[in-house]
Structure 1
Amino acid sequence: MHLYLTSNSPWDTTYCTESGQVIYKTESRWSLGPRNIAISKVLPARTIELDAHGKVPEEALKDAFVEIGKVDWHAIWYSKIRVGDGEEVSVKDFFRKEGWGGYGRGRVFTGPEGEEYVWKMDSVKPKASPLCLYTFANKGKNETLVANFHQRHLGIIGKARPASLEIQAEFNHMADLIVITFIYIEKLRREKERQSHSGGGGD
């Protein structure tokens, strides 16, 4: 599954297929303290009933969405994350830190079947993804690429392309979880990128 972002902010955009079908949308709202990011998924096609004049109601032509997750981003305190109808949990409990990358340690989380996955953050390099998700290599297992983020290319040199999140076909069943965790990790990566340019750091 290859999802194309309609803006360069993964937390305030829509995620579409190559044909333009919207699959996910994210909305970012500021409250007192955190940035609240709601992640929603389009509902499957539904039966449309005609109105009294035999026409399709205008409202029925719009995509209907259901919220599948949430990220409360805190700049100072620990952020929180919610998947599906579960409880909000601190990111320090949802993820653990492993390894190293260009922008600090990788973030490991547990998938729906008890398998572990790791987001690796790296500095931006030509033809390389700054953010990739892998199966976590332990107990003799080799890591496998699960998803990777392609940054927007403005086309000054080469062909222009929007930002996109590419999920390998064998992991499409956990796309919701991948999108939710991606939004938090990419926000974290960009904060670390900003800090590195201003002389800061972190893990």
Structure 2
Amino acid sequence: MKASFQILRQFPATWLLAAAMIVGAVISQSHYQELAETWLAALGFSPQHLIKGDAHRLFTSLFLTAGGARFYASLLMLVLIVGAAERRHPSLTVALVFLGVHLTTLLALSLLALAMDWRGSYYGELLAEARDVGPSAGYYGCLGLALHGLPQRYRSLVAGAACLMLVIRLLYAIAFLPEEGRQLNADVAHLIALALGLFVAAAWLRSRSPATEA
């Protein structure tokens, strides 16, 4: 019991975010089945919602997932990645990166999707209308922050492997458009989020360098 409290004290941001995910899953009953379309329609986010003035969906979509096995996969990813970032950085920093990258990613994705849709792009229309949920943008952003603690050669290797994996997933989504474009929406968001996380990590490195401190 004492060890459990110690873990909670060491990683408060990780466990608070995980607890919010679990509460969302239990309330929506997506911890044992796919998220119902009624929940997705009520709380999911798509770029079109910004035009309609439903910006609150940027937050309501955050702690829900597609449900079933994907809920547990997302929960595991969040705990591992956010926990790794929190081992190296203050909890408040990690929480701000998580939420900041989540919001910035969805806003950037929305601008891209709406611009492509306005120009008549089929993929832009899919991106603009696909409704999605989940915390993956936040924890991919924290992945970039977590890589800050690795030696340079390993950091570049892991970051390159992660980017390659996401590019392959994106190419698959472009070619086959699974889940009516929802997967395409998620894969574009993951790339944006990881890029933002790596940028934040690089800025952190510069701010902590001896030249800056001097």
Same fold (TM over 0.5): no
Q: TM-score, normalised by structure 2?
A: 0.28
Q: TM-score, normalised by structure 1?
A: 0.29
Structure ranking higher in strand proportion: 1
Bigger radius of gyration among the two? 1
Structure of greater relative contact order (alpha carbons < 8 Å, 6+ residues apart): 2
Structure ranking higher in helix proportion: 2
